[in-house]
Amino acid sequence: MDQMHTHISRQFNAELEDIRSRVLQMGGLVEHQIEQALEALIKGNTEQGEAVIMNDTQVNKMEVTIDEECNQIIARRQPAASDLRLVVAVIKTITDLERIGDEAEKIARMAVRLAGEERPKNNYAEIQAVGQQVCHMVHDALDAFARLDIEAALRVAREDQQVDQKYDGAMRQLITYMMEDPRTISRMLNVIWAARALERIGDHARNICEYIIYLVKGKDVRHTSLDQVEKEILGR
């Protein structure tokens, strides 16, 4: 009986490890989607933008597959405590990753629309600034998930404030362009949509960091200030 229990336990651990690695695989694809969408926008590369749009179905399929696997684990294994938290955190994380993929697709669509228009002298520097910060956030959030590192998760979550500041600065700049030259309004509205998509990606990356804290500490920190979270979780 003990031998059978050990076998089942080992199998269960392998299943849990599998869904974790699948999340990171999905995260890697989503990261690539953001980077490609940004590059398509900045360089005016229509083909690259269309490739991102096409690949979004792959992101969606991965979400469905992982979600099904999680549901099967819940039905078969009836996990408890930290095992259950892992499954819940995975389900929540893949939802945010899928939404990040959707935002990357939006940026790619804007890139395709803007490719045929006159390019600004600064080559969309406002978008590049927000985009670089957001790419780092997503990468670091996934790294924190891989290592179950709550300190890193808190650091990444704090970066969302910087993304918001850069987004606000970009919006002010883009509105100024439209006021100075009304001919740019149509083009700038597309750029604004792309900037908004990046800001939303930052929000989703922060969500992932909150799920890591929930997974490790068993505490739901949504709608809680980061200062309060640091005090309660890290005792600072």
- pLDDT tens track for 95-125: 999 999 999 999 999 999 999 887 777 878 8
Residue with tokens 């990261």: 31
Both tokens of 149, joined, read 């590192």
Task: Give the closest residue to 23 by CA, choosing from 55, 75, 70.
Answer: 70
> Residue 30's pLDDT band (boundaries 50, 70, 90)?
very high
Between the alpha carbon of residue 125 and those of residues 2, 134, 170, 191, the distances in Å are 62, 14, 9, 11
Question: Can you tell me the distance from the alpha carbon of 100 to that of 220, in angstroms, rounded to the nearest whole number?
Answer: 22
Residue with tokens 């600072």: 236
Give 181's DSSP letter.
-
Q: Which domain holds residue 130?
A: 2-234
Give the chain's length: 236
If one counts the domains in the chain, the total is: 1
State yes or no: pLDDT of 137 exceeds 50. Answer: yes
Would you state the pLDDT for residue 119? 78
CATH number at residue 143: 1.20.58.220
- Alpha carbon 112 to its chain centroid, in Å, reads 22
- Please state, for a pLDDT cut of 90, what percent of the chain lies above it: 76
Question: Can you tell me the distance from the alpha carbon of 127 to that of 111, in angstroms, rounded to the nearest whole number?
Answer: 12
Global pTM exceeds 0.85: yes
State yes or no: pLDDT of 208 exceeds 60. Answer: yes
Instruction: Decide: residue 34, CB within 10 A, 0-12 exposed, 13-18 middle, 19+ buried.
Output: buried
- pLDDT tens track for 164-207: 999 999 999 999 999 999 998 989 999 999 999 999 999 999 99
